[in-house]
Amino acid sequence: MEFTQAFLAEAVEILNKLDVAAIEKTVDILVQTREQGGRLFMLGVGGSAANASHAVNDFRKIVGIETYAPTDNVSELTARTNDEGWASVFRAWLEGSHLNAKDCIFVFSVGGGNLEKNVSPNLVLALQLAKEVGAKIVGVVGRDGGYTAQVADACVIIPTIDAEHITPHTEAFQSVVAHLLVTHPRLKVVQTKWESVR
């Protein structure tokens, strides 16, 4: 009982500390991406990859942005990992997709990527490509945001309340923020099913 109450209290504190301005800036960038006919590429590893896959569905169906996640194609992902290495897998995938200045990279990550510590180097190399071609970068990340927070045009950092619960809270709130975004009146263009059933 005590753990459950504490964990839920942490979640409430995170909600109260989320950076509303960073979320609204993310909305601005996503609106711009859609208006200029750009594509949205969702990047994540582990639980964040699952959140990225879910977000692909919602941004395509509800928001009307052409959206993809390289982790959704396990054959290509594993072929590139096997043949070229894990660090370059997202960058190579994005190069094959002809990433350009109209597009946007959306990162879900607990740490945001760190080359020096060799944590999520695939995110770092992908973001370096985005900077090279002039694509926008947004993210929902934990801890201090890592490389993603350093280079993003807008980045929502999930506040750390308890250092023992960074990963579960970050991955949970990635989903909360993603659902906020696809429900935002400036982004939502298609009514969700249960809200349309009276």
How would residue 87 be classed by pLDDT, with cut points 50, 70 and 90?
Answer: very high
- Name the DSSP letter for residue 63: I
Could you read off the pLDDT of 91-107 as tens digits, one per residue? 999 999 999 999 999 99
Determine the average pLDDT of the residues in 56-80.
Answer: 97
Q: What is the pLDDT of residue 62?
A: 98
Strand order of the β-sheet with 104-109 is 67-68, 40-43, 104-109, 136-141, 154-157
Q: What is the pLDDT of residue 197?
A: 82
pTM over 0.85: yes
How would residue 195 be classed by pLDDT, with cut points 50, 70 and 90?
Answer: confident
Give me the domains of the chain, ranges plus CATH numbers.
18-187 (3.40.50.10490)
**Cβ-based neighbour number of residue 157 at 10 Å:** 22
Write down the residue that tokens 């990527």 correspond to.
113
